[in-house]
Copies of this chain bind each other. A is one copy, B any other.
Amino acid sequence: MKTLCDKFLSAKVRRLSPYVAGLQPREDGWIKLNTNENPYPPSPRVGEVLHKIDTSRLRLYPDAESGDLKRAIAAAGELFEAGLCEENLFCANSADDVLALAYMAFFSGKDKILTPDISYGFYPVWGEMHDAGMEFVPIGADFSIDAGAYKNGNGVVIANPNAPTSLALPLADIERILQQNPDGVVIIDETYIAFAREGSAVALVGRYKNLLITRTFSKSHGLAGLRVGYAIGQPHLIDGLRRARDAFNSYPLDLLAQTCAAAAVSDRDYFIETTGKIIATRERVIAELRKMGCRVISSQANFIFMESSDASALYDFLCENKILTRHWNKPPGLENFLRVSIGTDDEMEGFLQCVNRFLNGEPTKPL
């Protein structure tokens, strides 16, 4: 039935299947392991800058280029060591915003944009939205990405580490993909790189004109609520993003977000401490689950991807016990897995106990 909304919608938006984000329950009492948020609050420096900010500055437009934030990111060590500076950076309202603008700038109207068939659910949606012909490259039975299969594309987008699989590619594979796709922009989405053993592609930016890395403050800096993402690449790609931005929303990042993100990224010690804690918890959880007999992929992210012969029932059992995880029925291959974000040690203890009860046959209550 054609609805009233359909009458006015553009054919494109009527046709597409929007991205569906994980649940965000408003009531308390949930152990929330479904959207890969950081279990730790952001650096105390965020509160400090926020609590002393002069709100009269809000009457003026923010810096469209996020200059102070870019300088803070560039100074944080990793970029500096790779010989990069603020000219290699572009900031916007979350990594999703950066990725959507990157599709507009570099993929719109092109075909053969290569991406794994199991990855972030937003990649195909942006493809539909921006008339980019996505070509889905099958992932291995072990969820591995075969670098050799990414060749002669007009663009590539790969999450590294990948979601929901939690696996990461070594830099040599990224480099191979860059070389095999010289005429297309290769987007490496490093949303989860802070939790990986494999190195960041930042080391390759100076050498590859077609490399664009995207990052977010949401996971690694405990700032999902602030919506700040950025891209790293050579200046001609940063210019391309700027052009797309100025055809969409010239000031994508508000003053408070710029200020808080700059404070967060300046606190390198806190970043190392909290990501280190999450990695330690992850390893402990994986070991415990394996002891219980579960198959768990060796994760390089702030979540784990665990197999269960009855993943849907496990998801429901956890839900009943107020533990939220994520489960997909498609594409095929995912239905036997749960994606579980890494919470605090206490939260994960609750999760492990609940899994144990499920494995020991405790019946699911009727909902």
Contact B3 A59 (CB under 8 A): no
Q: Is A63 an interface residue (CB 8 A)?
A: yes
Contact A239 B24 (CB under 8 A): no
Q: Is A153 an interface residue (CB 8 A)?
A: no
- In the bound complex, residues from chain B placing their C-beta under 8 Å from that of A248 are 96-97, 100, 126, 129
Q: How many residues on chain A are close to B (CB under 8 Å)?
A: 87
- Alpha-carbon distance between A51 and B51 when the two chains are bound, in angstroms: 5
- In the bound complex, residues from chain B placing their C-beta under 8 Å from that of A51 are 50-51
Q: Is A330 an interface residue (CB 8 A)?
A: no
Q: Is A84 an interface residue (CB 8 A)?
A: no
Max count, chain B CB within 10 A of own CB: residue among A42, A59, A63:
A59
Q: Which of B24, B55, B107 contacts A41 (CB 8 A)?
A: B55
Q: Which of B24, B61, B236, B255 contacts A64 (CB 8 A)?
A: B24
A52 to chain B: closest residue by CB:
B51
Give the contact stretch, choosing among A10-18, A161-169, A321-329, A347-355. A10-18
A131 CB → nearest B CB, Å: 8
- In the bound complex, residues from chain B placing their C-beta under 8 Å from that of A172 are none
Q: Is A120 an interface residue (CB 8 A)?
A: no
Q: Is A289 an interface residue (CB 8 A)?
A: no
Q: Is A356 an interface residue (CB 8 A)?
A: no
Per the 8 Å Cβ criterion, residues 5-51 of A in contact with B are 5, 7-13, 16, 18-21, 24, 26, 32, 35, 37-42, 46-47, 50-51
Q: Is A300 an interface residue (CB 8 A)?
A: no
- Alpha-carbon distance between A61 and B217 when the two chains are bound, in angstroms: 11
Contact B63 A24 (CB under 8 A): yes
Q: Is A4 an interface residue (CB 8 A)?
A: yes
- In the bound complex, residues from chain B placing their C-beta under 8 Å from that of A41 are 55-56, 58-59
Contact A55 B46 (CB under 8 A): yes
Contact A105 B9 (CB under 8 A): yes
Give the contact stretch, choosing among A138-146, A198-206, A220-228, A279-287. A220-228
Per the 8 Å Cβ criterion, residues 283-314 of A in contact with B are none
- Alpha-carbon distance between A105 and B248 when the two chains are bound, in angstroms: 14
A108 to chain B: closest residue by CB:
B10
A100 to chain B: closest residue by CB:
B248
Known: A16-B247, A125-B247, A240-B9. A58 touches B40 (CB 8 A): no
Q: Is A319 an interface residue (CB 8 A)?
A: no
A46 CB → nearest B CB, Å: 5
- In the bound complex, residues from chain B placing their C-beta under 8 Å from that of A7 are 183
A51 to chain B: closest residue by CB:
B51
Q: Is A342 an interface residue (CB 8 A)?
A: no
| Given A8-B237, A19-B246, A21-B64, 18 additional A-B pairs, CB 8 A | A10-B107, A12-B104, A16-B243, A37-B61, A38-B59, A42-B59, A50-B51, A55-B260, A58-B224, A58-B225, A59-B225, A61-B224, A97-B249, A128-B247, A129-B248, A226-B254, A226-B256, A254-B254
